[in-house]
Chains A and B, each alone.
Chain A
Amino acid sequence: MTSSHAHVSLLELQNASLTLGEGVARVDALIDVNLTVTSGELVAVTGRSGSGKSSLLNVAGGLTPLSSGTATVEGEPLAGLKARDLAARRRRSIGYVFQDLNLLPTLTAAENVAFPLELDGVKVAEARAAADVALTRLEIGDLAGRFPDEMSGGQRQRVAIARGVVGERRLLLADEPTGALDEVTAENVMKLIRSLCDDGAAALVVTHDPSLAAWADRVVRLRDGRIDSITEAST
């Protein structure tokens, strides 16, 4: 499961700490986390509820600024960016896949996938072509014209992942991406994420399911906001 592409750092967290709330409600959501994800890598994040998994995804995606430390995406520190540039950086580099997917019900699969590119000013025809490429990579090119309610859960999940890797996006951040799917469908989704990474993307996937985490090159376990252990797959 190694990629023939040059491995470049897509995400780097250095001494990343995040404190939420104040006074008695203060919580150290992340404490001194160091993590680098390079192209070709699938990294799983596990840990109990409240261990900091979702916080880790939020700071990796620039949705939540760090309290201290640095978050760098494709070599660019997020903290230095103005809000507009940060949003553009996120749209260009990072794809999110959440359990509830956030597919727009009035748009077809292809329109959903093309949407972030269009927001970024890419011409409609060009965005649609990129969407078709992404849908084909996820093996659902034939569903481009379907609306979300005309697809199965597994198919909708693939559309969300296609949107996550459309255009030049290479860093996929996923929070329980297989949450509502049966075992075999969930495994197929993880296989696709694995093969996207083998083709040069990178993914940081939060999951509570050990057998899905096992698709990763590294399994990072969080405990009380800190990295408790990292299990590397032997090659």
Chain B
Amino acid sequence: MSVRDALLALLDRRPAYGYELKADFEAATGDGWPLNIGQVYSTLQRCERDDLATAQDEADDQGRRLWTISAEGREAVAEWLETPAAPVEATRDPFSLKVLMAIETSPDRVDDLIRDQRNATMSELQALTREKASVADGDLARQLHLDRSVLLVEAQVRWLDMVEARIDAHGKATS
């Protein structure tokens, strides 16, 4: 539903064509959330079905239809913005599954696995940081997108550090 609400929020600003909404959406998310144009139109059609937005009856000479938000659509946007979103769920990801399974099944290989994984993750962090360094000062959306990516990857490095420290402490406690 987030993409629907985001498109409605953009429409709340001014009426727009589908391709304009796609471009505005990608600019606002710092090009970190590519949208396919088909997804934009199918979402707009659902909005029309649910009376959240309407399209011009007649297409212009280039075959484009202008979309306008409805009063219900405005309410939906307001409610979306006012309701806190659920935090990112971190229960399952391939990265942690591998580490946890290695601890369970191959304890003698965990040290090497953590080291290799940390190297790979740190490398990714360095690449993101270089990208950040090249972002123009005024490009707020791109900066925010990269900040978020950096923090998510950083969390993995920090977790690996904790895994290593906990295993060491556990080993000392049980030896």
Interface-located stretch among B57-65, B96-104, B127-135 = B127-135
List residues of chain A with CB within 8 A of the CB of B3: none
Q: Interface code B80-123, partner A: CB below 8 Å = 1, 0 otherwise?
A: 00000000000000000000000000000000000100110011
Identify the closest chain B residue to A187 (Cβ): B132
Q: Which of A183-232 contact B (CB under 8 A)?
A: 191, 194, 209-211, 213-216, 219, 221, 228-229, 231-232
Q: Which of B122-170 contact A (CB under 8 A)?
A: 122-123, 125-130, 133, 150-151, 154, 157-158, 161, 164-165
A191 touches B133 (CB 8 A): yes
Give the distance in Å from the alpha carbon of A234 to the alpha carbon of B165 in the complex. 28
Q: What are the 8 tightest A-B residue pairs by CB atom distance, in nearest-first order? A: A214-B125, A210-B157, A214-B129, A233-B126, A231-B122, A211-B154, A210-B154, A214-B126
Q: Does residue A1 face the partner (Cβ distance < 8 Å to B)?
A: yes
Q: Does residue A146 face the partner (Cβ distance < 8 Å to B)?
A: no
Give the distance in Å from the alpha carbon of A1 to the alpha carbon of B130 in the complex. 8
A229 touches B119 (CB 8 A): yes
List residues of chain A with CB within 8 A of the CB of B123: 231-234
Question: Do most interface residues of chain A lie in helix, strand or loop, or is the interface mixed?
Answer: mixed
Give the distance in Å from the alpha carbon of A216 to the alpha carbon of B164 in the complex. 23
A234 touches B126 (CB 8 A): yes
Q: How many residues of A contact B (CB 8 A)?
A: 19
Question: Do most interface residues of chain B lie in helix, strand or loop, or is the interface mixed?
Answer: helix
Known: A1-B133, A191-B133, A215-B129. A210 touches B122 (CB 8 A): yes
Identify the closest chain B residue to A47 (Cβ): B161
Q: Does residue A48 face the partner (Cβ distance < 8 Å to B)?
A: yes
B129 touches A211 (CB 8 A): yes
Q: How distant is A129 from chain B, measured CB to nearest CB, in Å?
A: 30
Known: A48-B165, A228-B115. A213 touches B122 (CB 8 A): yes
Which of A210, A221, A228, A229 is close to B125, meaning CB atoms less than 8 Å apart? Answer: A210
Give the distance in Å from the alpha carbon of A228 to the alpha carbon of B165 in the complex. 14
Q: How distant is B110 from chain A, measured CB to nearest CB, in Å?
A: 14
Known: A210-B154, A211-B150, A221-B118. A233 touches B133 (CB 8 A): no
Given contacts A48-B164, A234-B126, 9 further A-B contacts (CB under 8 A): A210-B154, A213-B122, A214-B122, A214-B154, A215-B129, A231-B118, A231-B123, A233-B127, A233-B130
Give the distance in Å from the alpha carbon of A233 to the alpha carbon of B158 in the complex. 19
Q: How distant is A197 from chain B, measured CB to nearest CB, in Å?
A: 12
Give the distance in Å from the alpha carbon of A234 to the alpha carbon of B8 in the complex. 41
B122 touches A219 (CB 8 A): yes
